Structure 1
Amino acid sequence: LSAALADCTELKISPTTSAEKQSTQFIECVVCHDKSSGKHYGQFTCEGCKSFFKRSVRRNLTYTCRGNKNCSIDVHHRNQCQYCRLKKCVKMGMRKEGVVHL
């Protein structure tokens, strides 16, 4: 037993770099590319997009785009056009039937 323990103490585990940690632990939101908090309504999304989608579906909200219905939705611009954000949620595969109506 002591020989086995002696062997274990000689093992060296190389620490992972921050880039390696980030690449293995970071899954991005399919809608805005922020850090995903998990799978919500069928897709990996951030808390913001999850809540926005749930609120929009539960309240049966309709939005209007002030642009050309092709607005950029990313972490910095996701709150600028609700129409395009909801459209992208659906396009990326978020399922409305997954939202529980209260």
Structure 2
Amino acid sequence: MDSDNCKLLAVPKDVTKDIQSSNICQVCGEKPTIMYLGVHCCSSCKMFFRRNAEFDLDTHQCVFTGNCDITMNSRGACRYCR
């Protein structure tokens, strides 16, 4: 992987503290199993973000309204909103 293509995700410390005290996946609401990129997430969401790290949001768009509700049951419906 080219280091020029890598992007760092910066989360403010006050937000990180609130997220770390949570008992749910911060993406879909499922019970978290791991801390990944500074947030609690389930294994499914962790793998999603690992596989889609270079997903081009400019090329791909949401097929719905752009504000999909991401839950444990619907998390696979829209790659863009997840």
- Measured against the shorter chain, the TM-score band is 0.5 to 0.7
Unpaired segments ≥5 residues, structure 2: 1-21
Aligned length: 58
**Which has more radius of gyration?**
1
More helix by share: 1
Q: Tell whether 2:31 aligns with 1:38.
A: no
| Percentage of matched positions with identical amino acids | 34
Task: Give the whole-Å Cα distance in 1 for the aligned partners of 2:76 and 2:34.
Answer: 20
Normalising by structure 2, what TM-score?
0.65
Normalising by structure 1, what TM-score?
0.53
Question: Over residues 8-38 of structure 1, what are the superposed CA-to-partner deviations in whole Å (9 max), with x where a residue is unaligned?
Answer: xxxxxxxxxxxxxxxxxx9210110011002
Q: Tell whether 2:78 aligns with 1:78.
A: no
Deviation of the 1:61 alpha carbon = 1.7
Root mean square deviation of aligned Cα: 1.5
The answer to which structure, 1 or 2, has the higher relative contact order (CA under 8 A, 6+ apart) is 1
Matched letter for residue 34 of structure 1: E
Unpaired segments ≥5 residues, structure 1: 1-25, 86-102
Query: Deviation above 4 Å: which 4+ runs of structure 1?
Result: none
